[in-house]
Amino acid sequence: MGLPNPVVNQSKNVNIRPQETELRYESKLAVTWKRFKKNKLAVTGLIVFTLIVLIAILAPWISPSKPDVYDILDSNLKPSAKHPFGTDSMGGDIMTRVFYGSRVSLTVAMLTMLCSVTIGVIYGSISGFFGGIIDNIMMRIVDAIQSIPTFFLLLIVASLMVPTMWSTIFVISIFGWTGLARIVRGEILSIKRRDFIEAARATGEKNKSIIFFHVLPNAIAPIVVIATLDIASVILSEAALSFLGLGIQPPTPSWGNMLTSAQDLTTVLDYPWAPIFPGMFIIVTVMAVNFIGDGLRDALDPRMKQ
């Protein structure tokens, strides 16, 4: 039984501090991940979505053919070893086009999501932070946009533009931010009354830095959830627009414009594989993203409800 060695103790003390902060820093993400991992649907969704993203990235290497190669003699072929998903009416390989189409559809979904999240966060922050008459007017505009059936708006704006990938992104994002703006505003209204915002103000911080460094980080959970679910709804909107010929234009393949062939009801019964495979990719991707979104919602904040 000797006396405790002061040198050892001291070194322990030195070691403890950084470990503690590291632990605390990790814990927020780690706890979220731990909760997320328990949700089997969410993990399945994540795996499936990752696979589809990999397909999109690796499309040039894993596709059986090239997206712009048509052989009219090989049109409307049944799925076979050479053409696992069959061929379309132009003789293009459907698997190749679905794989390349996932590049287009996912790019549109991601970029649109980023655009509408940016607009929604900025709009909602301004509205919630300043409050009063500004908030009132800004929220009435959101009400008005939300009252107009989105698809009518999409069709109008889409019909005014020459349809390209960029116009599709533009069209879907300019009306897609309202839901998020409303939620960000609500979060900010409740956060801005807390003491630490008062403290930040007392130290002389400017409005902009208060919003970005103190308010928004605390509203991140709902933003992440909505942004994730947004990807799913954008995929559906893109598919709908392209289906009607107002979105991505052939020969560029997208999941939506590959379904256009299904409009011809007389042939689709004979060649059902042409719409089925792109349709399946849409449905599976949207479901996967929705599972991830729901899982994130439960993991980030168990109190949050739809």
Partner 1 sequence: MPKYIIRRTLQSIPLLFIISIITFLLMTLAPGDPTAVYKNPEGKPQNLEMIKKELGVDQPIYVQYYKWIKLLVLHGNLGYSFQDGRPVTEKIMERVPATLELMGTAIVISILVAIPIGVYSAVKQYSLLDYIFTAYSFLGIAVPSFFIALVVMLVFAMDLGWFPVSGMRSSYDHFNLWDRVHHLFLPAMTLAFGLIASKSRFMRSSMLEVIKQDYVRTARAKGLSERKVIFKHALRNGLIPIITIIANRLPDLFGGALFIETIFAWPGMGRLSFSAIFIRDYQVIMGTTLIAAVLVVLANLLADILYAFVDPRIQYGKS
**By the criterion CB under 8 A, which residues form the site for partner 1?**
140-141, 143-153, 155-157, 159-160, 232, 236, 239-240, 243-244, 246, 259, 262-263, 265, 268-269, 272, 275, 279, 282-284, 286-287, 290-291, 305-306
| DSSP tag of 72 | G
| Structure-token pair, residue 1 | 């039984």
C-beta closer to partner 1: residue 3 or 265: 265
Nearest-angstrom CA–CA distance, 297 and 7: 48
C-beta closer to partner 1: residue 114 or 268: 268
C-beta closer to partner 1: residue 200 or 236: 236
Residue 70 zone, left/alpha/beta (φ > 0; ψ -120 to 50; rest) = beta
Alpha helices by DSSP H, 39-93: 40-62
Q: Please report how close the Cβ of residue 113 comes to partner 1 at its closest, in angstroms.
A: 17
Q: Please report how close the Cβ of residue 57 comes to partner 1 at its closest, in angstroms.
A: 23
The answer to whether the beta carbons of residues 94 and 277 sit under 8 Å apart is yes
C-beta closer to partner 1: residue 110 or 284: 284
Task: Kindly tell me the number of DSSP H helices and DSSP E strands found in the chain.
Answer: 13, 0
From the list 209, 185, 191, the residue with the least C-alpha distance to 135 is 185
Q: Please report how close the Cβ of residue 294 comes to partner 1 at its closest, in angstroms.
A: 9
Q: Please report how close the Cβ of residue 206 comes to partner 1 at its closest, in angstroms.
A: 31
Q: Please report how close the Cβ of residue 283 comes to partner 1 at its closest, in angstroms.
A: 5
C-beta closer to partner 1: residue 5 or 266: 266
Q: Please report how close the Cβ of residue 130 comes to partner 1 at its closest, in angstroms.
A: 19
C-beta closer to partner 1: residue 253 or 275: 275
Instruction: Return the bridge partners of 93, or none.
Output: 87
Residue 253 zone, left/alpha/beta (φ > 0; ψ -120 to 50; rest) = beta
Q: Please report how close the Cβ of residue 188 comes to partner 1 at its closest, in angstroms.
A: 20
Please give the torsion angle defined by the CA atoms of residues 192, 193, 194 and 198, in that order, rounded to the nearest 10 degrees: 80
Other CB atoms within 10 Å distance of the CB of residue 27: 11
The answer to whether the beta carbons of residues 197 and 210 sit under 8 Å apart is yes
C-beta closer to partner 1: residue 73 or 269: 269
Instruction: Return the bridge partners of 87, or none.
Output: 93
Q: Which 3 state secondary structure label does DSSP give 119?
A: helix
